[in-house]
Amino acid sequence: MTEIRHVLSAADPLRHELRPTEAERDRLRQRVVAAAAHLDSRPGRTRRPILVPMLVTSAVIAMIVATSSMWPRSSLAQAAVRFEVRLAEDQPAPGLRAVRVGSSDRTVYVHPEIVVTNDDIERSGVIAGNAPARFWIDVRLNAAGAEKMRQATANHLGKPVAILIDGDVVAVPTLKSPIGAAAVISGDFTRADAQRIAAGMIGAAP
């Protein structure tokens, strides 16, 4: 007679199947992080049932980016900020514009076409950052913006995408998967800075 342990082991799906791909794992991770980011931005409303279907939708993808808080103070003081997302490259090529990333030594080469801008933002908000008194910005694109973002980023995987505020590149995440409706701009912002930027993103660009 066969022991149960051996029977179970022989039938163990982990012995016969491939593990989830890296892309599947990344998508899962992004959904989880997006959910948490959303909760960060909605203190006191974390148990709303409506959150569940919203969280599991694959359209919501978080883009966790490491940004410096190299925002020019002058632009932060403005009531409105010009928000742009452009595809970028690490190497120069004809037609691309070299832009320095914040005050770092890194230079990226941005495409002339703007993927999304202020008009494509449905809402934006401030969420808790990764350290006390540091805050990130949660950006939600409208349907048209999300579609433009998906189409543009689907063929740009493994390459950088530049987030520009008032013409300055403030974040250059490398795309691991296509970006959809949601992005989290993580950085070292004070609450006041993050609030000004988030509020300034909505509406027409200055």
Partner 1 sequence: MNGLPIATALPATLPQSAAARLATLFDAHHERLYRLARRLVPTADDALDLVQETFLKAARAPGSIPSGFADEEAWLVRVLVNIQRDRWRKSLVRRRHDTETPASSGPASDTEAALVARAAVWTALDRLPPRRRAIIVMHELEGLTVNDVASVLGITAITVRWHLSRGRRDLARILEPYVGVTDDRD
Binding site for partner 1 (CB under 8 A): 1-5, 7-14, 16-17, 19-20, 24-25, 28-29, 31-37, 39-40, 46-47, 51-52, 55-56, 62, 64, 66-73, 101-104, 106, 127-132, 136, 184, 186-188
Residue 163: CB minimum distance to partner 1, A: 13
Contacts of 10 (CB under 8 A, 6+ apart): none
Residue 179: CB minimum distance to partner 1, A: 16
Q: Is 79 left (phi over 0), alpha (psi -120 to 50) or beta?
A: alpha
Q: Which is nearer to partner 1, 31 or 111 (CB)?
A: 31
Q: Is 49 exposed, middle or buried (0-12, 13-18, 19+ CB in 10 A)?
A: exposed
| Contact status, residue 177 vs residue 23, Cβ threshold 8 Å | yes
Q: What backbone phi and psi angles, to 5 degrees, belong to 83?
A: -105, 130
Residue 144: CB minimum distance to partner 1, A: 26
Residue 7: CB minimum distance to partner 1, A: 5
Q: Which is nearer to partner 1, 56 or 154 (CB)?
A: 56
